[in-house]
Amino acid sequence: MFLHTIAILISTALCLANATKPPSPLVVALTGPTSVRSIGDIKITAAVTNTGLEPVKVFKYDSILDGELPTCSFTISKSGTPVTFTGVKLQLSTQNLSDSAYTTIGPGQTVRVEHQVAQLYDFQPFGVGRFEFEPVTTFQVVQPDNQLQMHRIMASSHSVHVSHDVARRELSVYDKHIEVGYCDSNEAEFISQSYRDTKKLATHIANYLGSSRESGGDIYTRYFGNTP
């Protein structure tokens, strides 16, 4: 009986905590074409509106506010089956980022960001048809103590019918790597040298595979068969 009473009290406290937690003032609406010939023509605009009375400072990377980096801003599906994301997953130290990593949205203000998704998702296995776009509905919001807190937001979805071209695109090469201006000198040099070494190693691998393919070498055919 005692344990049952404790369980009821804990459950009630959790319900009250959830009930009193203020909802996020941010609302996302999507606009864009409803019918296109090619996935290359899909351009979705996300409008993020602050419906509250105070400014909201949001960490923009890896969210619907990030229209620059090839990150996952949408869940795309066809007939309920998710389309595979083929872009980049970020790992960032939020303590070493400049103010450019954040967007501040004033009361009543709307920030619009345009997204092109053809290179970031593999539409090809699904063929032509109607695709549903739902924005990622979580934001990391800066609190008064400068800590980030996850907010779940209200958002609308958008559907697009693709009539012809759903061929998979290759992700563009992003030569700009991690910012090192906010590290100390040793960390900055380590990151820069690691980046240079990685590019050099990747070049050696590509050259080796290329020469192996041209000479009919065992390494290339072992992994890629007769693929040109």
Residue 95 neighbours by CB distance under 10 Å: 7
- Reported as a single tens digit per residue, the pLDDT across 58-89 is 999 889 999 888 889 999 999 999 999 998 88
DSSP 24: P
The reply to whether CATH 3.20.20.70 applies to domain 23-171 is: no
Structure-model confidence comparison of residues 145 and 40, the more confident one: 40
Asked whether the predicted pLDDT for residue 110 surpasses 80, the reply is yes
Range(s) of the chain covered by CATH 2.60.40.2970: 23-171
Determine if residue 133 is left, alpha or beta; phi over 0 gives left, psi from -120 to 50 gives alpha, anything else beta: beta
Q: Which two tokens stand for residue 52?
A: 């509250």
- Reported as a single tens digit per residue, the pLDDT across 126-144 is 999 999 999 998 899 999 8
Asked whether the predicted pLDDT for residue 164 surpasses 70, the reply is yes
**What is the H or E stretch that residue 115 is in?**
strand 110-116
- Reported as a single tens digit per residue, the pLDDT across 51-62 is 999 999 999 988
Instruction: Write down the pTM of the prediction.
Output: 0.69
Q: Residue 172: what pLDDT?
A: 73
Q: Residue 62: what pLDDT?
A: 84
**120-131 residues labelled b (16+ CB within 10 A) or e (exposed):** bbebeebebeeb
**Dist CA 177 CA 93 (whole Å):** 14
Q: Residue 175: what pLDDT?
A: 53
